[in-house]
Amino acid sequence: MDLVEWHQPVIFVITETRIDDPRADMIIRRLPFDGAYSTETIGHASGIWLLWRSDLVSMDILLATEQEIHAIVQVSSHAQPWLLSSIYGSPRFRERCLLWGNLKVLSERHNLPWAIMGDFNDVVCCEERMGGNGVCRRRVEEYVSCMNFCNLINLGFTGPKFTWTNKRDLPGLIQGRLDRVWANLDWKACFPEALVKHLARINSNHCPLLLTLANPPVRTGERPFRFQPIWLSHASFPPIVCDAWEGNQQDIRSEISTFTIKARNWNREEFGNIFWKKKNLVARLGGVEKALAQYPS
């Protein structure tokens, strides 16, 4: 919910959900997306959710397996449709080879701009892994060979170098860049300003990836007033409400304006800007993760 609130994505992909119906449907309904497609989990493993806002984008699902969802995307503000592949690569190499084969077949059957993103559960070179056993050369070759066959290029990134960690202390710490975005040249030509950002890890052992197709507009103007449910749990809040409404029952506009001013001032004294504090902590976590990628300690 925080990621949706902060970045307001039009398309939202969640991998390794480990949740199947009906609990998955209950969680999806709580998110602000009216379009949804999900793959079945294997026991309590895998799972992909593809969610979208149908007022801004249309999605035509082509095919799906436990490791992939392929959909044709039509962005309302862009004339050219393109192919989106949401990936969760199996941790088992034999099954991941099936994914590579499926991607090769798909690449031969379409000529659309193509973006492919998700958790591939592997790296493309030794520099993308730190700690643990060495990188398996055969697995890397199969991965890179598939991307080359499909004429896909790595879109790069900003943010922490590694997108996954085993969350252990030294010397058992392992980190790797398992999540990324690939695209063909036609897709890159359609969206030359596209950027990939590795966001800070908070609850997961993976970094969320944020793909923006163009530079977002700068927000201007005053932030709208929002009532925060946590205020109700504070003992000093009810007097604020009573003081703002007492004696002004005949003028609703005046009552609301008075309450807004008093609530903002009270919130500033009691809580401060909790949204800024939270974003500041997330930014610090991102800095920590960058440092861990260079000099783990």
pLDDT tens-digit series, residues 256-296: 888 888 888 888 888 887 777 888 888 888 888 888 888 88
Q: What is the mean pLDDT of residues 12-28?
A: 82
Q: What is the mean pLDDT of residues 169-192?
A: 94
Fold of 2-212: Deoxyribonuclease I; Chain A (3.60.10)
Please name the residues in contact with 128: beta carbons below 8 A apart, sequence gap of 6 or more: 161, 162, 176, 177
Compute the residue count for the chain.
297
State yes or no: pLDDT of 217 exceeds 70. no
Contact between 260 and 241 under an 8 Å Cβ cutoff? The reply is: no
Sequence ranges of the domains in the chain: 2-212, 221-297
| pLDDT at residue 184, rounded to an integer | 96
Enclosing H/E stretch for 259: helix 252-270
Q: Kindly indicate the confidence band of residue 29, based on its pLDDT and cuts at 50, 70 and 90.
A: confident
Q: Phi and psi (nearest 5°) for 86?
A: -100, 125
Kindly report, residue by residue over 93-141, the tens digit of the pLDDT.
999 999 999 999 999 999 999 999 999 999 999 999 999 988 999 999 9
Q: Kindly indicate the confidence band of residue 62, based on its pLDDT and cuts at 50, 70 and 90.
A: very high
Q: Which residues of 102-133 are buried (b: 16+ CB within 10 A; e: fewer)?
A: bbeebbeeeebbbbbbbbbbbbbeeebbbbee
State yes or no: pLDDT of 191 exceeds 70. yes
pTM of structure: 0.78
| pLDDT at residue 107, rounded to an integer | 96
| pLDDT at residue 1, rounded to an integer | 84
Helix axes 237-245, 252-270, angle to 10 degrees: 150
State yes or no: pLDDT of 248 exceeds 70. no
81's tokens: 């449709």
| pLDDT at residue 166, rounded to an integer | 93
Q: What is the mean pLDDT of residues 37-50?
A: 79
Q: Kindly indicate the confidence band of residue 26, based on its pLDDT and cuts at 50, 70 and 90.
A: confident
Q: Kindly indicate the confidence band of residue 60, based on its pLDDT and cuts at 50, 70 and 90.
A: very high
Comparing C-alpha atoms, which of 69, 71, 62 is closest to residue 39? 69
